[in-house]
Structure 1
Amino acid sequence: MLQAIGLTSNRSRGQAPAVDDLTFDAEQGCVTALLGAPGSGKTEALRLMLELEPGRGITYFRGRPLHRVPRPACEVGVVLGDVPGHPARTVRGQLRMLCAAAGVPAVKADELLEAVGLAGLGDQRIGTLSLGMDRRLALACALLGDPHTLLLDDPAEGLAPREADWLHGMLRSHADRGGTVLFATSDPKEAARSAGRVVTIDGGRLIADQDGAAFSRTRLRPRVAVRSPQAARLAAIVSREARVARRSVEVVAEPVGNRLSVYGSSCAEVGDAAFRHGLPVHQLADEVGDVGPVGTVGARAEAEGSSTHTAGTAGPGAPAREVSAHTADAARRPLRPHVRGEVPPSIRRRPARGPLWPVRYELRRLFGVRTTTVIMAVVLTASVGLSVLLARGGGTPPVHVIAAWPSLLPLPPAALGAGLLGALSFGDEFRYPALAAGRGTVPRRFGLLLAKLAVSAGVALLLAVLVVLASAETLRIVYGGGSLHVPANAASLAVSWFGLTVGCAWAGLLAAGVFRVTAAGIAAVLAVPVVMVPLVERMPKASTARSMAGLPGRLRELAWFQWPGAVDRWLLAAMRVVAHPVGAALSLSLAALVCAFLFTSLRGRVRW
């Protein structure tokens, strides 16, 4: 069961709130429609329920507000617009990634693809899906955690009738299994056809709370839709004949298209009248007409009566009185301890929850698109080509030949590629937020950050090893085995090489996380050799060999266990790397980015 109590959005400057003290229930086992014209506050109300927008009020999902639900994906499924996924990601890849975020087995993805009719489209890219297939995928994403409540914003908008019927059939099936379904719509006929209860709002306020039968009786009226080039003359004839026969008939002229809406008559009667007077008719059909939102029906009827031909006394005034009485009865029901006028509690906008399985989520996010493999292939190709060209000249040091680092480039291709992959780790998250629908931000969770750092470091190390192996093997094939030899300081060089690639990956990742754009991560990587290295080189030089010589031994004395002697050599190699201008510049950049990331994270928590 869903209980929305006193939902009120923040006031814009000089404007009324989009949602004003909205209170209603959505019963368990029932499909509830939140009906309102465009701009009536439906979407804002849903976002207030999900704590996506600041305001006042509270929404209980089976007795608990959303921020007190430990696993929201297992309680509430949300469809707000299109699927917020990378267009190059496959349907199955998107669902498997969200399975890791929701903490459910990956096999759930295939089960839902079968349930929503996408079993044969698992390898289809999201960007190539039609609107109907996209809505099916969105519903599958909402059902991943097997939630009790479904919240959907205009789920059938733009869909063909067959797709809309299938979607509402799925919603009714979920409600029949004991779930709660609430969907927003602006079409009264859709609400009457698909919902067991209809909550009507206008201007952000509750207008009516009715069951489906009462809503259809009071809000919708049968009519005859007529299209004729002689619409005004036909309206006068039908009205005159109705007065003569003393029948209650209302004829309303539509503002465009030579259309008439005839209430209280039938297709046969209107067609016979047109035939007797020789008037052409281009359309003649039975329809269900909307009499307008409750509370404005009377004014609308008066306006229509002043500009149309009307016969009889039947009008929407009586239904309006019936709805008002029903709404008054609903308001007197003791459903919740809330009295109008009381100040409801404040709603704080909260970011999305982090993934429950962060490493698995990050791996599927990273390798779920071809961008990662394309970047790695380009880096390997460029590195091998540069290595062959540098070895041909003979004047480049062997270390730079293996790393494919000519003096013209600020960084080798492997470091640039690692930095780009790190920047995409956060950059794609902000462009295509996948952790929660409609939030548009990335949670600054410690577990997610550690997962991104670990995965990006692993990819950078893999890229560094592949570049060295590919370059060495290519040089052996092209120039022979005598062109390469293992240097004496191989350990120090390996630490430097791995530290450079991992450091660039982390710099790109942290900068993209701070500034929320991929370009900032790339700029941070390029700033290390272009800006930071010259600054470090201009610092006063001092000899550090004497102070560093005995550092491993002094650290050994402080440790509570004795590490192997090989660790001393690796420590010295790491300290020499940090003492190098590039290593020092990269270390300073990473320290600054870590501080900036922590500062923005803490500031965000204090703000909200």
Structure 2
Amino acid sequence: MIQAFGLTSNSRKDLPPAVDDVSFEARAGHVTALLGATGAGKTTTLRLMLELQQGRGLTYFRGRPLHRIAHPSREVGVLMGDVPGHPARTVRGHLRMLCAAAGVPVRRADEVLEVVGLVSLRDERLGTLSRGMDRRLGLACALLSDPHTLVLDNPADGLSPREGHWLHGMLRAHATQGGTVLFTTSEPKEAARAADHVVTLDQGRVVADQAAAEFARTRLRPRIAVRTPHVARLAALLAKEARTAHRSVEVVREGGNRLSVYGSTCADIGETAFRHGILVHQLADEIGDMGPGAGPFPGEALEAVQGVPAAGEGPESSEILDAPGAVEPAGTERSSGRVELDQSAPQSGSRVCGDAVVPAGPDTHGGRTAHDVPGARPAAGSGGGVQGGATVSRPPAPLPPLPPPISVRSAPSPLRPLRYELRRAAGIGTGFLTAAAVLVTSALTAVFLARVGHTPQARLLAAWPRELPLPPAALGAGLLGALAFGDEFRHPALAADRGTVPRRLGLLTAKLVVAAVTALALAFLTLGCDAEVLYLVYGRELTEVPADWFLLSASWFGLVVGCAWAGVLAAGIFRSTTAGLAAVVAVPVLVVPLVQKVLQGASVRAAVGLPARLREVFLSQWPFGGERYLTGAVRVIAQPVGGALTLSLTALVCAYLFTTLRSRVR
């Protein structure tokens, strides 16, 4: 159950807030539609509910606000806008990565793929999916953690009628199993057909909160659907009789052999057709639109034939345009965006709602009987229609299957963020391409430096000319570290958890561990490749191991790992890969000169005899030469680059912790 109280967005300069004091309820076991025109505040309302936008008000999901829920993705499944994810990632890889983030078994990815019908596309890249497949993947992401509540922002936008009916059937199946469903839409007929409850927004305020049956009765205009081979003749006769009788009748020609008539009845239209010998294939009541100004359905060209306009209607209301979701009886074929109808149609006396035919009568619920399923498509020849004056309803299609329930361990696992980070880093080829580019660039630079000469052996093996602030390996490690958080904000894979990238220390630790391991591997491979290339080109002279190899190795690995960590922290703070890489480059360009200027001052004392004093402090010699490693680390930090990098990392860690605490306080 969702309970929203007084949701109000922050004011925008001199403009009123986009959402002002919105309160409503979405009950469990029901589908609730948030209806409103473009700009009415539907998306802002959802963002306020999900704590993605600052404002006032409270929203409870089964009695708890979202920030009080330990694992939001297991309580609320969210679909906002396009499906977040790197376009180079595969469908299955994206879902398996989210499984690792949510702590559910990886087999869950295959289960939801089968339910949403994407098994055959599991190896496709996200960037190649069509709009309909993108919506299916979004629903799969929302259902991944078996949430109780589904919150979807205009999920049927851009879908074909058949895909829209399938989507609404999935939402109905989730509600039938006791879940709560809230979706937004700008189409009144979609809300009346697919929802049990309709909350209408206008200019950021709730103007109606009704059951679907009451909404259809009070806010949607009834109309008569007519199909005849003599469309033009019947439309002209209806308009002529309306003018003669001084009645307000509006006849909308929808192309093909279909008419929609507002302000008349099946009896009047049937008598007119009978008197003039016009053959009629369909004559049925339908739920229409919300009246003039409701807006056309994109892609449908309609023609309006007027009777006498109603009082108060201006020129803007002279065209009555059909809203999306127009009824298509069994056997309908779509071609080039137009509707071509066959000769098998439900007879008069039946009410057509969506693609299902149900009897007209007092037992209908918003155009749907108690046993009817929204979006159910009857098969041709299933026995629907009217026989001998008795109304016969077609049997509803079964609800679409949902993924089986899963049991998730509530105890947090320290390996969960690590699994997620490993799948995130290995799921696309950016890291591998970056590493390959670093190895090639480093090898070529080393060969060039050896040819020019006057380069120390340590810098030669690291391919680090004095003119460059950092060697290629350090820049590559910094770039990979910046991508670890930068890709999260550009393609927020963790949007299913909170709609944005959570600043959790467990996630940061996992990224730092993976970045460090990647940087060490890159540093080791760079040294090996440079030495091998130098040996092949110039012989063994340039590949001899230096005498102080330990200190040089510690400095080298510390430099590369430090650059990787600086990229991770800076990208996490500034939410950008570019900012992360800029922070890495700023260390030798800006921080090192500052540290050197400080260290160049007059020194009264020097740290001479540090190893001996360390042994005195710890009273004994460390095993395995531990004081040697400590001394090497201290010497690395004492160097200008090492000191500057240590200073930068300390500042970035403090800034990250500050932003984490600030986000939690909010």
Fold conserved between structures, TM > 0.5: yes
Q: Name the SS for the 1:290 alignment partner.
A: coil
Give me the whole-angstrom Cα distance separating, in 2, the residues matched to 1:354 and 1:205. 43
Deviates more, 1:517-526 or 1:531-540: 531-540
Q: Name the SS for the 1:28 alignment partner.
A: coil
Q: Name the SS for the 2:467 alignment partner.
A: coil
2:205 is aligned to: 205
Q: How does 1:296-307 map to 2 (within 5 A)?
A: 302-304=311-313
Give me the whole-angstrom Cα distance separating, in 2, the residues matched to 1:359 and 1:544. 46
Displacement of 1:553 in angstroms is 4.3
2:57 is aligned to: 57
Residue type at the aligned position of 1:359: L
Structure 1 residues 396, 171: CA separation in 2 closer, same or farther (over 3 Å shift)? same
Q: Name the SS for the 2:39 alignment partner.
A: coil
Displacement of 1:414 in angstroms is 0.4
Please tell me whether residue 575 in structure 1 is matched to residue 634 in structure 2: yes
Give me the whole-angstrom Cα distance separating, in 2, the residues matched to 1:190 and 1:525. 52
Give me the whole-angstrom Cα distance separating, in 2, the residues matched to 1:271 and 1:490. 102
1:7 is aligned to: 7
Q: How high is the TM-score relative to the length of structure 1? A: 0.80
Displacement of 1:394 in angstroms is 4.8
Structure 1 residues 222, 12: CA separation in 2 closer, same or farther (over 3 Å shift)? same
Please tell me whether residue 430 in structure 1 is matched to residue 489 in structure 2: yes
Structure 1 residues 35, 267: CA separation in 2 closer, same or farther (over 3 Å shift)? farther
What's the C-alpha RMSD, in Å, of the aligned pairs? 3.9
Give me the whole-angstrom Cα distance separating, in 1, the residues matched to 2:314 and 2:541. 99
2:240 is aligned to: 237
Structure 1 residues 14, 439: CA separation in 2 closer, same or farther (over 3 Å shift)? farther
Q: Which runs of 5+ in 1 are unaligned?
A: 244-248, 294-299, 311-325, 327-352
Structure 1 residues 120, 557: CA separation in 2 closer, same or farther (over 3 Å shift)? farther
Give me the whole-angstrom Cα distance separating, in 1, the residues matched to 2:319 and 2:571. 65
1:296 is aligned to: none
Q: Which runs of 5+ in 2 are unaligned?
A: 293-308, 321-365, 367-411
Give yes or no for contact 2:73–2:496 (8 Å, CA) kept in 1: no
Displacement of 1:80 in angstroms is 1.0
Deviates more, 1:444-453 or 1:353-362: 353-362
Give me the whole-angstrom Cα distance separating, in 2, the residues matched to 1:209 and 1:447. 43
Q: How does 1:24-35 map to 2 (within 5 A)?
A: 24-35=24-35
Please tell me whether residue 357 in structure 1 is matched to residue 416 in structure 2: yes
Give yes or no for contact 2:32–2:181 (8 Å, CA) kept in 1: yes
Displacement of 1:605 in angstroms is 4.8
Q: How does 1:150-161 map to 2 (within 5 A)?
A: 150-161=150-161
Residue type at the aligned position of 1:580: Q
Structure 1 residues 216, 490: CA separation in 2 closer, same or farther (over 3 Å shift)? same
Q: How does 1:160-175 map to 2 (within 5 A)?
A: 160-175=160-175
The structure with the largest helix share of the pair is 1
Please tell me whether residue 251 in structure 1 is matched to residue 246 in structure 2: no
Please tell me whether residue 81 in structure 1 is matched to residue 81 in structure 2: yes
1:316 is aligned to: none
Q: How does 1:69-468 map to 2 (within 5 A)?
A: 69-220=69-220, 221-224=222-225, 236-242=239-245, 250-252=248-250, 261-266=261-266, 269=269, 288-292=287-291, 302-304=311-313, 357-436=416-495, 441-468=500-527
Residue type at the aligned position of 1:484: T
Q: Name the SS for the 2:623 alignment partner.
A: coil
Residue type at the aligned position of 2:249: V
Residue type at the aligned position of 1:252: E
Structure 1 residues 590, 9: CA separation in 2 closer, same or farther (over 3 Å shift)? closer
Deviates more, 1:541-550 or 1:4-13: 541-550
Give me the whole-angstrom Cα distance separating, in 2, the residues matched to 1:510 and 1:110. 34
Q: Which deviations, in whole Å up to 9, do the C-alpha atoms of 1:579-603 show, x marking residues without a partner?
A: 2222223223323333333444445
Displacement of 1:375 in angstroms is 0.4
2:568 is aligned to: 509
Displacement of 1:466 in angstroms is 0.7
Give me the whole-angstrom Cα distance separating, in 2, the residues matched to 1:202 and 1:495. 65
Structure 1 residues 560, 160: CA separation in 2 closer, same or farther (over 3 Å shift)? farther
1:343 is aligned to: none
Give yes or no for contact 1:29–1:180 (8 Å, CA) kept in 2: yes
Deviates more, 1:439-448 or 1:464-473: 439-448
Q: How does 1:560-571 map to 2 (within 5 A)?
A: 563-571=622-630
Q: Name the SS for the 1:218 alignment partner.
A: helix
Give yes or no for contact 2:224–2:260 (8 Å, CA) kept in 1: no
Structure 1 residues 564, 166: CA separation in 2 closer, same or farther (over 3 Å shift)? same
| Percent of aligned positions that are identical | 60
Give me the whole-angstrom Cα distance separating, in 2, the residues matched to 1:133 and 1:77. 18
Structure 1 residues 65, 511: CA separation in 2 closer, same or farther (over 3 Å shift)? closer
Q: Name the SS for the 2:313 alignment partner.
A: helix
Give yes or no for contact 2:72–2:498 (8 Å, CA) kept in 1: no
Give me the whole-angstrom Cα distance separating, in 1, the residues matched to 2:241 and 2:12. 49
Deviates more, 1:58-67 or 1:553-562: 553-562
Displacement of 1:460 in angstroms is 0.7
Q: Which deviations, in whole Å up to 9, do the C-alpha atoms of 1:254-311 show, x marking residues without a partner?
A: 8999x98533245993996799799xxxx99986412359xxxxxx96433897699x
Give me the whole-angstrom Cα distance separating, in 2, the residues matched to 1:107 and 1:223. 50
Residue type at the aligned position of 2:139: L
Q: How does 1:539-558 map to 2 (within 5 A)?
A: 539-541=598-600, 547-558=606-617
Give yes or no for contact 1:74–1:147 (8 Å, CA) kept in 2: yes
Structure 1 residues 301, 218: CA separation in 2 closer, same or farther (over 3 Å shift)? farther
Give me the whole-angstrom Cα distance separating, in 1, the residues matched to 2:274 and 2:432. 70
Displacement of 1:482 in angstroms is 4.9
Give me the whole-angstrom Cα distance separating, in 2, the residues matched to 1:25 and 1:392. 75
Give yes or no for contact 1:224–1:263 (8 Å, CA) kept in 2: no
Displacement of 1:124 in angstroms is 1.3
Give me the whole-angstrom Cα distance separating, in 2, the residues matched to 1:425 and 1:272. 71
Displacement of 1:142 in angstroms is 0.8
Residue type at the aligned position of 1:457: A
Structure 1 residues 110, 546: CA separation in 2 closer, same or farther (over 3 Å shift)? farther
Give me the whole-angstrom Cα distance separating, in 2, the residues matched to 1:275 and 1:481. 106
Structure 1 residues 474, 284: CA separation in 2 closer, same or farther (over 3 Å shift)? farther
Structure 1 residues 517, 301: CA separation in 2 closer, same or farther (over 3 Å shift)? farther
Structure 1 residues 309, 447: CA separation in 2 closer, same or farther (over 3 Å shift)? closer
Deviates more, 1:108-117 or 1:261-270: 261-270
Displacement of 1:475 in angstroms is 2.8
Q: Name the SS for the 1:38 alignment partner.
A: coil
Q: Name the SS for the 1:304 alignment partner.
A: coil
Residue type at the aligned position of 1:223: I
Residue type at the aligned position of 1:31: V
1:318 is aligned to: none
Structure 1 residues 68, 355: CA separation in 2 closer, same or farther (over 3 Å shift)? farther
Give me the whole-angstrom Cα distance separating, in 1, the residues matched to 2:654 and 2:125. 38
Deviates more, 1:395-404 or 1:111-120: 395-404
Residue type at the aligned position of 1:524: A
Give yes or no for contact 1:224–1:262 (8 Å, CA) kept in 2: no
Give me the whole-angstrom Cα distance separating, in 1, the residues matched to 2:147 and 2:450. 61
Residue type at the aligned position of 1:175: A
Q: Which deviations, in whole Å up to 9, do the C-alpha atoms of 1:487-520 show, x marking residues without a partner?
A: 2111101101101101111222222223222222
Give yes or no for contact 1:578–1:587 (8 Å, CA) kept in 2: yes
Displacement of 1:29 in angstroms is 1.8
Q: Name the SS for the 1:150 alignment partner.
A: strand
Deviates more, 1:390-399 or 1:232-241: 232-241
Give me the whole-angstrom Cα distance separating, in 1, the residues matched to 2:319 and 2:275. 20
Residue type at the aligned position of 1:133: M
Structure 1 residues 39, 536: CA separation in 2 closer, same or farther (over 3 Å shift)? closer
Residue type at the aligned position of 1:520: A
Give me the whole-angstrom Cα distance separating, in 1, the residues matched to 2:211 and 2:620. 73
